[in-house]
Amino acid sequence: MKTATLNNSIDRRDFIRLSALASGGLVLGFYINSNGEAQAAESASGPGGSFAPNAFVRIAPDGKVTIVSKQPEIGQGIKTSLPMVIAEQLDVDWKDVTIEQADVHDRYGSQSAGGSTSTPNNYENFLRVGAAARAMLVEAAAQTWGVPAAQCTTASGTVTHSASKRSLKYGALVAKAATLPVPDAATVALKDPKDYKLIGRRITGVDNPKVVTGASLFGIDVRVPGMVYAVYEKCPAFAGKVVSANLDQVKALPGVKDAFIIEGTSNLSGLKPGVAIIADSTWSALSARKQLKVIWDEGKVANTSWDKFVTEAKELSTKPGARVLRKDGDVDAAFKTAAKVIEAEYVYPFISHLSLEPMNCTAHWNNGTMEVWAPSQNPATGRALISTTLNIPQEKINIHLTRSGGGFGRRLTPDFMIEVAAIAHKVNAPVKLTWNREDDLRHDMMRPGGLHFLKGAVDAKGKVVAWKNNFFTFGNAGPGGLVSPGSGGALSPDEFPGRWISNYLAEQTVFDTGWPMGPWRAPGSCVFAWVIHSFIDELAHAAGRDPLEFRLEILGDKDEMAATPPPAGAKGGPAAPYNVARMRAVLKLAAEKADWGKKKYPKGQGAGLAFHFSHRGYFAQVAEVTVSKEGQLKVDRVISVGDVGSQIVNPSGADNQVEGSIVDGLSVLMLQELNIERGRVTNVNLDEYPILRIADAPTKIESHWLKTNNPVTGTGEPAIPPVAPAICNAIFAATGKRIRQFPASRTDLRWS
């Protein structure tokens, strides 16, 4: 029965497809429209007489509840936390809920897990999805008993009418509920957060039983009957073309079924040229690859190297940058009259995502349909790229989402998806493509490096009066020849402390590289916070002031700092204001938890702090370190305080993200660096690109949350930016040595 008006934006084909799933009954679907609002659609019983109140929930007559998780699970815990939101409002016990990973389908709305948006984009909707289903079950019970719905209560998957001492389990109500009108999702009554039983509890990840027993979960674990195995050799120099290859020789090798050249495109995040080898096992394919000889046309990228760009940046650094990003007041005049002026140069290299599960994907080109099993963070871009590159209509591409062995932004770029699709397009069987670690490091969508030439000044009272940042970054020329920075390589004119300092100048020069770059966990923020909070620390020490009090003075008394209005004619409205009050609060709490200013450290030990706002989250951290006389660093403790709104859905998952961010931030700070010479990465496995080991992880991490009356947002990214500066500032406090270059392993920390 049709009960609510179908929104015009709802695709009727999807609607019918969903109904057709039901065995003769009616299906009720909530769809998420493009504005992210839940829309009630139509009601029906689901397969096997179950109650399927929307695309996200199914309740079977035996009471089994299935909640569909639409977002990609990449280790951020979303497959646990978002279903918890539905289960809370539905009022079912978590132990009775089964979570099912959704394939890719328009009915779910966006399925991209990037920018820490999974929670903020879905939280409100999911509350309403659960509440609407619960309201229908209550109504079904009320009608059955002939009592007002308002007199009924729910708990643990049961509706109760206390006055008459009657109760019915949800399973017993599904048949009736399926015939009822759908409540308006926008006005359905929600639980009072103080009555939450599930949200806010520490819940272990829903896939953990499979993770610890080695069950098939990840993209690389996919096995399809009749499957063959592929490897794909690309030019070591970024996006070089194939001239020729010894295909006949390779095809004759044991286990090899085929070998062919894929011409590819020059799109750095698309289908790169290469040679595919198809074999009866991964090992046969990898072995054959050792005999593969390719003549490459490396192109002009072979003339580029990191060292050359660094030399060029240093030469250019004394001149004005190519573009002024922000100019307030007059920095040069301020430098002339200031009490103290300091200058510093901060440098960080390109780094890799290094998800432990190397890129891989499985595809089957079958009767005009491309079936894909993808460990992707953003499957829709993969579908679009496959469609445009291979000329297959989008509706003929079915994508199954698998768990990903780490994302960090790497799997937002669908290059691995188009590669396997292009290979499968030529092979008469399902194909699994596996990159080895060398492929993964050679062909990452790298986090761009950068150089900041900074100059700052304080007046006689020790107040910051001028700040200049001449920033050199890396990018690629677009179609019009305009060179724009890679993801995370653009400094915002509003980046802190822009807007806070009266004489402020930020300039940016972008090098055209031909190198692939992409989003890396908290793009930009993860490096800018290090540069900015290290330099603020330098200024504080130059002024002889306490780093906390100095920062609080910069933040000022205003509770909000408005964003700079976009230039006339620019798309979109102004960005959200910076909530200074929230930042001040997390900073003060972090300092308090660390006994900031009260604790005395012997030489070789010290504490440092930093804060940063990114991805809607306000974070401050204090690090305590010990540096031995021999220069060995140990991070003793990191205290993190985060404000991501009014609820922490799953504190276990949220703390995991904080702990992971701190280890990740330390790992990058200490060790990571890609060597890029002649247009290629030359350190291509873990022996040459080390990451942090357990012994070097902090001894202690304390994660605190400051709940504020603000929308609930994500934790995958905003905890990482303050890590490196807090640790570097602590190292300075301990040793007097300032780290101005990543990785810190290049700085001699010995002291006497």
Partner 1 sequence: MKYTLNINGKSHTVDVAPDTPLLWVLRDTIGLVGTKFGCGIGQCSACTIHLNGEPTRACMTRVSSVRNSKVVTIEGLAEESGRLHPVQQAWVDLDVAQCGYCQAGQIMTAAALLRDNPKPSDADIDGAMADNLCRCGTYLRIREGIKRAAGMTAGKEATQ
Q: Does 209 bind partner 1 (CB under 8 A)?
A: yes
Task: In whole angstroms, give the CA distance from residue 276 to residue 254.
Answer: 16
**In 3-state terms, what secondary structure has residue 368?**
coil
Largest Cα–Cα distance of the chain, in whole Å?
Answer: 85
Q: Does 356 bind ligand FES (CB under 6 A)?
A: yes
What are the φ and ψ backbone dihedral angles of 511, each rounded to 5 degrees?
-85, 140
Least Cβ distance, residue 358 to partner 1 (angstroms): 7
- 615-to-103, 240, 525, 599, 707 alpha-carbon distances in Å: 26, 35, 9, 32, 16
Residues 691-750 within binding reach of partner 1 (CB under 8 A): 691-695, 697-698, 700-701
Q: Does 21 bind partner 1 (CB under 8 A)?
A: no
What are the φ and ψ backbone dihedral angles of 654, each rounded to 5 degrees?
-65, -45
Q: How far apart are the first and last CA of the chain?
A: 81
**Residue written as token pair 């190198």:** 515
Antiparallel, parallel or unpaired: β 680-681 and 676-677:
antiparallel
244 binds, options partner 1, ligand FES, none, Cβ within 5 to 8 A by partner type: none
Q: Does 628 bind partner 1 (CB under 8 A)?
A: no
Q: What binding mask, one character per residue, do residues 64-103 give for ligand FES by CB under 6 A, x or -?
A: -----------x----------------------------
Q: Does 44 bind partner 1 (CB under 8 A)?
A: no
Number of residues in contact with partner 1, rule: CB under 8 A?
Answer: 67
Can you say how many angstroms the Cα of residue 139 is from the centroid of all Cα atoms in its chain? 40
207 binds, options ligand FES, partner 1, none, Cβ within 5 to 8 A by partner type: partner 1
Interface with partner 1 by CB under 8 A: which range of 315-323, 421-429, 564-572, 684-692? Answer: 684-692
281 binds, options ligand FES, partner 1, none, Cβ within 5 to 8 A by partner type: partner 1
Asked if 80 and 191 count as a contact pair (C-beta separation under 8 A), the reply is no
Q: For partner 1, give the closer residue by CB, 80 or 473.
A: 80
Least Cβ distance, residue 204 to partner 1 (angstroms): 4
Residues 397-436 within binding reach of ligand FES (CB under 6 A): 406
What contacts 315, CB < 8 A, 6 or more positions away? none
Q: Does 264 bind partner 1 (CB under 8 A)?
A: no
Q: Does 388 bind partner 1 (CB under 8 A)?
A: no
Asked if 281 and 231 count as a contact pair (C-beta separation under 8 A), the reply is no
Contacting residue, 88, 444, 507, 664, with partner 1 by CB under 8 A: 664
Q: Does 626 bind partner 1 (CB under 8 A)?
A: no
Number of residues in contact with ligand FES, rule: CB under 6 A?
Answer: 3
Q: For ligand FES, give the closer residue by CB, 660 or 721.
A: 660
Least Cα distance to 186 among 52, 31, 39, 54 occurs for: 39
Least Cβ distance, residue 446 to ligand FES (angstroms): 20
Structure tokens at 594: 């660390």
Interface with partner 1 by CB under 8 A: which range of 31-39, 414-422, 571-579, 686-694? Answer: 686-694
Q: For partner 1, give the closer residue by CB, 586 or 692.
A: 692
Least Cβ distance, residue 405 to ligand FES (angstroms): 6
Asked if 725 and 731 count as a contact pair (C-beta separation under 8 A), the reply is no
Residues 395-434 within binding reach of partner 1 (CB under 8 A): 403-407, 434
CB contact burial 63-97 (16+ within 10 A = b; e otherwise)? bebbbbbbbbbbbbbbbbbbbbbbbbbbbbebeeb
Q: For partner 1, give the closer residue by CB, 291 or 685.
A: 685
**In 3-state terms, what secondary structure has residue 146?**
coil
Q: Does 190 bind partner 1 (CB under 8 A)?
A: no
The DSSP code sequence of 176-218 is HHTTSPPPPTTTPPPPPGGG-SSTTS----TTHHHHHHT-S-B
Alpha helices (H) in 263-370, listed in sequence order: 282-291, 306-316, 331-337
Q: For ligand FES, give the closer residue by CB, 406 or 518.
A: 406
Contacting residue, 78, 138, 347, 354, with partner 1 by CB under 8 A: 354
Least Cβ distance, residue 670 to partner 1 (angstroms): 13
Q: Does 477 bind partner 1 (CB under 8 A)?
A: no
Contacting residue, 659, 670, 671, 681, with partner 1 by CB under 8 A: 659
**Residue written as token pair 């905003």:** 718
**In 3-state terms, what secondary structure has residue 633?**
strand
616 φψ region: left (φ > 0), alpha (ψ -120 to 50), beta (else): left
213 binds, options ligand FES, partner 1, none, Cβ within 5 to 8 A by partner type: partner 1
Instruction: Tell me how many helices (H) and strands (E) the chain has.
Output: 17, 32
Alpha helices (H) in 606-692, listed in sequence order: 651-671
Contacting residue, 61, 255, 462, 493, with partner 1 by CB under 8 A: 255
Contacting residue, 205, 449, 497, 547, with partner 1 by CB under 8 A: 205
Contacting residue, 660, 679, 714, 725, with partner 1 by CB under 8 A: 660
Structure tokens at 285: 């394919």
662 binds, options ligand FES, partner 1, none, Cβ within 5 to 8 A by partner type: partner 1
Task: In whole angstroms, give the CA distance from residue 548 to residue 141.
Answer: 58
**In 3-state terms, what secondary structure has residue 581?**
helix
Q: Which residues bind partner 1 (CB under 8 A)?
A: 74-77, 202-205, 207-209, 211-218, 220-221, 223, 229, 254-255, 281-284, 286-287, 354-358, 403-407, 434, 436-437, 652-653, 656-657, 659-664, 667, 685-687, 691-695, 697-698, 700-701
Q: Which residues bind ligand FES (CB under 6 A)?
A: 75, 356, 406
